[in-house]
């Protein structure tokens, strides 16, 4: 698998920058339903997901599903967005046990925090977003396109 940078989004220094990056990501989803977010603890994965959910019209509180593994949100047009956090899983078998396929192949939008834990289960057209914290505290958001 070869990775190549597809797009570098603007540096994120405040909430207004996060929202403009979220707007671009949401607009560029096309036919991709799975969005995997990579980054160190505290990099801003949940914050970016919240911003993207705002772009989708979600009004309810978006929080990381650290203990429940998945949260579900409804858009104004009655679509579902699933938000996963795989930080606490120990084996891929745990993901099979809760029926990840029903979510990933539902045709609904899925955001995944800590996708490193389940990399082999991600569909081919997954949008991979890397958030890098720079020395000055700014965030650089990179969209990566994966080619087989």
Total of domains in the chain? 1
Q: Which residue is it, tokens 């990566």?
A: 144
Output the pLDDT for position 142: 80
Range of the domain at 97: 2-147
Structure tokens at 114: 């800590």
Give the separation between CA 40 and CA 132, rounded to whole angstroms.
8
Question: Any idea what the CATH number is for the domain that residue 107 is in?
Answer: 3.40.50.300
Output the pLDDT for position 133: 85
- pLDDT for residue 148 is more than 80: no
Residues above pLDDT 70, as percent of the chain: 86
The count of other CB atoms within 10 Å of the CB of residue 63 is: 13
Residues above pLDDT 90, as percent of the chain: 55
**Number of H helices and number of E strands within the chain?**
4, 7
Output the pLDDT for position 138: 79
Q: pTM of the predicted model, to two decimals?
A: 0.87
Strand-pair partners of 130: 38, 142
Strands 109-113 and 80-85: parallel
Give 138 or 14, the one with higher predicted confidence.
138
Q: What is the pLDDT of residues 73-124, one digit of tens each?
A: 999 999 999 999 999 999 999 999 999 999 999 999 999 999 999 999 999 8
């Amino acid at each position: 698998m070869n990775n190549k940078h597809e797009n570098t989004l603007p540096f994120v220094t405040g909430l207004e920058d996060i929202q403009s990056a979220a707007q671009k990501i949401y607009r560029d989803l096309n036919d991709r339903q799975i969005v995997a977010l990579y980054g160190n603890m505290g990099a801003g994965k949940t914050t970016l997901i919240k911003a993207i959910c705002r772009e989708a019209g979600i009004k309810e509180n978006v929080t990381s599903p650290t203990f429940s593994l998945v949260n579900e949100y409804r858009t104004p047009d009655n679509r579902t967005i699933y938000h996963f956090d795989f930080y606490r899983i120990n084996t891929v078998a745990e993901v099979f046990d809760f029926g990840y396929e029903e979510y990933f192949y539902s045709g609904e939008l899925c955001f995944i925090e800590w996708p490193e834990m389940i990399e082999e289960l991600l569909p081919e057209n997954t949008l991979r977003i890397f958030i890098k914290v720079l020395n000055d505290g700014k965030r650089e958001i990179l969209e990566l396109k994966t080619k087989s």
